[in-house]
């Protein structure tokens, strides 16, 4: 059996944790299995690298950021191989170059295109544990790239797919996927199972426990994931294909405080305006999320949308350079709060119940968007924690239904 095990930053934060991970992997190896380990940078090392870079240059070139980032993961894999050697087990560390993990060329947000498995297979045949850097890749210019923050999960799933692994386990600092971030909602409950679609929505809407592209890949290639803790042996959460897994209409609540609202006031009420606006933003690679257009009055209308906080000022500048409008209002003090659940497709009144929870908590809703399996509201950022708890309580997510 071939097993891919991924360990996040907190799981390899110090010597004791590194040995803990080494021992867990060796346990699997001693069962006679092939073991491929994917690691993140130690603790908050990636954040520290960002601080270091910004100290040198407020606006560092993206290529050089990726060059810098790669050392974090490289440090973890080398130290892990040393720990395993010390425990008498043959192990080898490999970075993205050595494996040949080909990505697109976008620095800081590259996508994996192809992984060569030959080197990994050779090392496994020699009965070594193979320890691979998460998060990084190599583009067509032979430069290092990274997959976006939290991207080591995606490396692990991509490797599991490419190697046709029998198991892909994501080890982290919580026991699994919860009904809400357990750091924000104390009554959050661990889910035994969650579907790919629900997990994809949760991850995209701010549940940082899994990188959303890892879930996308897992669904595409049918890689069943287990999310579990590296600090205990509790059973984790299984992420897999399926319909409504539990008798719950709503599976979880997620929040994303990295949201900004851009209101474009008084654009012309005529054909082509939305195209012009969003086309200009698309050309600048700015991702748009919720969109709201007001009813036209006296020849003008307003278009409001959300994007990431980092893109908001650029978005406003691009719009004012490209089209006529009366004014543009940027608000970065907003957050998105969402409920997700495959069960809501067939249940009326789910959105109303969420809005009631917010009404009870006296929290104003600024924008709303929905899909088949989610409802998202935009609220003032300062209310995020209260909103999460109010909604979680309203749907009684802390109790098994
Ligand atoms: P790692 O370094 O192991 O990749 P992350 O910090 O990326 O760990 O992800 C784990 C964190 O995700 C948890 O500590 C938790 O605060 C957060 N989180 C957010 N939403 C959820 C959720 N629904 N279930 C579990 N954890 C969540
Ligand atoms: N070290 C990277 C980050 O902190 C990747 C990861 O942890 O998944 O974002
Ligand atoms: Mg992570």
DSSP string over 312-346: HHHHHHHHHHHS--SEEEEEEEEEEEEEE-GGGGG
- Give the residue, 243 or 321, on which the prediction is more confident: 321
Distance, CA of 183 to CA of 172 (rounded, Å)? 14
Gap from CA of 302 to ligand 2 centroid (Å):
38
Under the banding of pLDDT at 50, 70 and 90, the label for residue 247 is low
CA distance 24 to 80: 12
β-pair type (91-94, 129-133)? parallel
Which is more confidently placed, 297 or 148? Answer: 148
Q: State residue 372's pLDDT score.
A: 87
Contact by Cβ (8 Å): 196, 204:
no
- Judging by DSSP bridges, how do beta strands 167-172 and 193-195 pair with one another? unpaired
Task: Report pTM.
Answer: 0.93
Residue 41 Cβ inside 6 Å of ligand 2? The answer reads yes
> Is residue 215 within 8 Å of residue 151, measured between CB atoms?
no
Q: What is the dihedral of CA 2, 24, 6, 50, to 10 degrees?
A: -150
Cα 137 to chain centroid distance, Å, stands at 17
- Give me the mean pLDDT over the 70-96 stretch: 98
Please check the confidence at residue 375 and state whether its pLDDT lies above 80.
yes
Q: What is the mean pLDDT of residues 160-181?
A: 98
Q: Determine the pLDDT at residue 292.
A: 93
| CA 128/CA 132 separation, integer angstroms | 12
* Angle in degrees, CA 299, 305, 308, rounded to 5: 155
- The residue-averaged pLDDT of 322-344 equals 94
| CA-proximal residue: ligand 1, atom 12 (nearest) | 209
User: What pLDDT does residue 244 have?
Assistant: 55
Residue pair 42/75 in contact by the 8 Å Cβ criterion: yes
User: Is residue 252 within 8 Å of 182, Cβ to Cβ?
Assistant: no
The CB of 152 under 6 Å from ligand 2? The reply is: yes
Range 123-142 burial, b when 16+ CB lie within 10 A, else e: bbeeebbbbbbbbbbbbeee
pLDDT for position 243: 64
pLDDT value at 85 more than 80: yes
Give the whole-angstrom CA distance, residue 312 versus residue 305.
10
Question: Looking at the predicted structure, is the pLDDT value of residue 54 above 60?
Answer: yes
In this prediction, residue 401 carries a pLDDT of: 56
Position 80 scores a pLDDT of 98
Q: What is the pLDDT of residue 389?
A: 98
CB 304 within 8 A of CB 274: no
Q: Has residue 246 got a pLDDT over 70?
A: no
251 lines ligand 2 (CB under 6 A): no
Strand partners, 101: 115
* Cα(129)–Cα(355) distance, integer angstroms: 51
Q: Is the pLDDT of residue 224 over 80?
A: yes
Element of type H or E holding 240: strand 237-240
* Mean predicted confidence (pLDDT) in 26-43: 98
Per-residue confidence at 248, pLDDT binned at 50, 70, 90? confident
* pLDDT at site 75: 98
154 touches ligand 2 (CB under 6 Å): no
Closest residue (by CA) to atom 4 of ligand 2? 46
Ion ligand 3 neighbours (CB, 5 A) are 8, 150
What residue ranges line ligand 1, CB within 6 angstroms? 8-11, 40, 150, 172-174, 177-178, 180-183, 207-209, 252
Nearest ligand 1 atom to alpha carbon 184: 16
For 185, phi then psi, to 5°, come to -115, 105
Which of 141-155, 332-346, 384-398 comes out lowest in average pLDDT?
A: 332-346
User: What pLDDT, on a 0 to 100 scale, did the predictor assign at position 344?
Assistant: 82
Cβ of 10 below 6 Å from ligand 2: no
Mean pLDDT across 342-360: 89
Does the Cβ of 8 fall within 6 Å of ligand 2?
Answer: yes
Average pLDDT, the chain: 95
Q: How far apart are CA 351 and CA 370, in angstroms?
A: 9
pLDDT tens digits along 119-129: 999 999 999 99
43 pocket-lining for ligand 2 (C-beta < 6 Å): no
């Amino acid at each position: 059996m071939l097993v891919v095990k991924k360990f996040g930053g907190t799981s390899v934060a110090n010597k004791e944790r590194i040995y803990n991970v080494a021992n867990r992997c060796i346990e699997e190896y001693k069962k006679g299995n092939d073991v491929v380990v994917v690691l993140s940078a130690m603790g908050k090392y990636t954040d520290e690298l960002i601080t270091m870079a910004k100290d040198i240059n407020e606006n560092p070139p993206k290529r050089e950021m990726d060059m810098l980032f790669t050392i974090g993961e490289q440090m973890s894999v080398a130290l892990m191989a040393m720990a395993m050697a010390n425990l008498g087990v043959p192990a080898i560390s490999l970075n993205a170059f050595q494996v040949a993990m080909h990505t697109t060329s976008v620095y800081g947000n590259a996508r994996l295109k192809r992984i060569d498995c030959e080197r990994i297979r050779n090392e496994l045949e020699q009965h070594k544990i193979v320890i691979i850097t998460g998060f990084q890749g190599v583009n067509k210019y032979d430069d290092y790239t990274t997959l976006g923050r939290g991207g080591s999960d995606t490396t692990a799933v991509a490797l599991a797919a490419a190697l046709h692994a029998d198991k892909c386990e994501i080890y982290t600092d919580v026991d699994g996927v919860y009904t809400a971030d357990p750091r924000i909602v104390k009554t959050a409950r661990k889910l035994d199972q969650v579907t790919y679609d629900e997990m994809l929505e949760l991850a995209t809407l701010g549940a940082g426990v899994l990188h959303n592209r890892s879930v996308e890949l897992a669904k595409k290639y049918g890689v069943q994931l287990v999310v579990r803790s590296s600090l205990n042996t509790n059973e984790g959460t299984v992420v897999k294909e399926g319909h409504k897994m539990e008798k719950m209409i709503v599976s979880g609540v997620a929040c994303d405080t990295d949201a900004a609202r851009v209101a474009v006031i008084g654009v012309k009420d005529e054909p082509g305006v939305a195209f012009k606006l969003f086309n200009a933003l698309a050309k600048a690679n700015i991702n748009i999320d919720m969109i709201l257009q007001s009813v036209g009055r006296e020849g003008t209308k307003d278009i409001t949308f959300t994007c990431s906080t980092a893109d908001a000022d650029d978005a406003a500048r691009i719009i004012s350079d490209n089209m006529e409008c009366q004014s543009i209002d940027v608000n970065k003090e907003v957050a998105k709060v969402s409920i997700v659940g495959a069960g809501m497709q067939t249940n009326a009144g789910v959105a109303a119940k969420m809005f009631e929870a917010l009404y009870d908590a006296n929290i104003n809703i600024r924008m709303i968007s929905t899909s088949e399996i989610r409802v998202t509201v935009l609220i003032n950022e300062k209310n995020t924690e209260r909103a999460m708890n109010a909604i979680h309580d309203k749907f009684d997510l802390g109790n098994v239904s």
